[in-house]
């Protein structure tokens, strides 16, 4: 008998806290900055542009869209874009949906009509963490940053 997927909330919260810290390092001036762009290069002709844009600002939350544009990428493959909500009172950042999709559920039955994995939200938050870490370790900011 196949076991039902049960999310590990402690691990998920740790990932969201780490992503919040990474975003604050990448955008130390978040209150006054609407967009930040990074360029990552590897090899002679490979480049990625990472854009972090503020979509909404409220007292306790900020919503960002984080997108990637690969130079030389195929026309038939969309670059990923994540909508991320920052919860300032809890110091957490969580992927709430992909661009042009409805909000993600914490757990999906499998199989399902949209072909989501049972732990789709966990995978996307982990992916966000890898993406942000890569920007911190290898990214070049395309404009100067002034921290307060």
Mention every residue, 6+ apart, whose C-beta is less than 8 A from residue 56.
Answer: 62, 63
Q: Are 129 and 18 in contact (CB under 8 A)?
A: yes
Query: Strands, DSSP E only, in the chain?
Result: 35-42, 46-57, 61-70, 81-87, 92-98, 140-141
Tokens of residue 87, six digits: 């919860």
Other beta carbons within 10 angstroms of residue 3's beta carbon come to: 5
- pLDDT per residue as tens, the chain (148 positions): 667 777 788 999 999 999 999 999 999 999 899 999 988 887 777 788 889 999 999 999 999 999 988 776 556 566 778 999 999 999 999 999 877 666 676 776 777 677 667 677 888 899 999 989 988 988 887 765 555 5
Q: Are 141 and 25 in contact (CB under 8 A)?
A: no
Q: Hey, where are the domains in the chain?
A: 9-141
Q: Are 22 and 127 in contact (CB under 8 A)?
A: no
Q: Locate tokens 């762009």: which residue?
A: 37
Closest CA to 130 of 7, 11, 12, 18: 18
């Amino acid at each position: 008998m196949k076991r039902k997927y049960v999310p590990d909330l402690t691990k998920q919260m740790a990932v969201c806290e780490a992503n919040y810290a990474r975003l604050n390092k990448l955008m130390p001036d978040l209150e006054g900055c609407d967009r930040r762009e990074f360029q990552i290069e590897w090899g002679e002709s490979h480049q990625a542009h990472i854009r972090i844009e503020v979509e909404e600002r409220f007292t306790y939350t900020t919503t960002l869209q984080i997108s990637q544009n690969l130079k030389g990428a195929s026309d038939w493959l969309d670059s990923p874009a994540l909508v991320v909500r920052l919860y300032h009172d809890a110091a957490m950042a969580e992927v709430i949906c992909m661009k042009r999709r409805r909000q993600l559920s914490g757990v999906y039955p499998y199989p399902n009509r949209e072909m989501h994995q049972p732990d789709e939200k966990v995978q996307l938050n982990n992916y966000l963490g890898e993406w942000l870490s890569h920007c911190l370790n290898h990214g070049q900011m395309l404009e100067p940053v002034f921290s307060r």
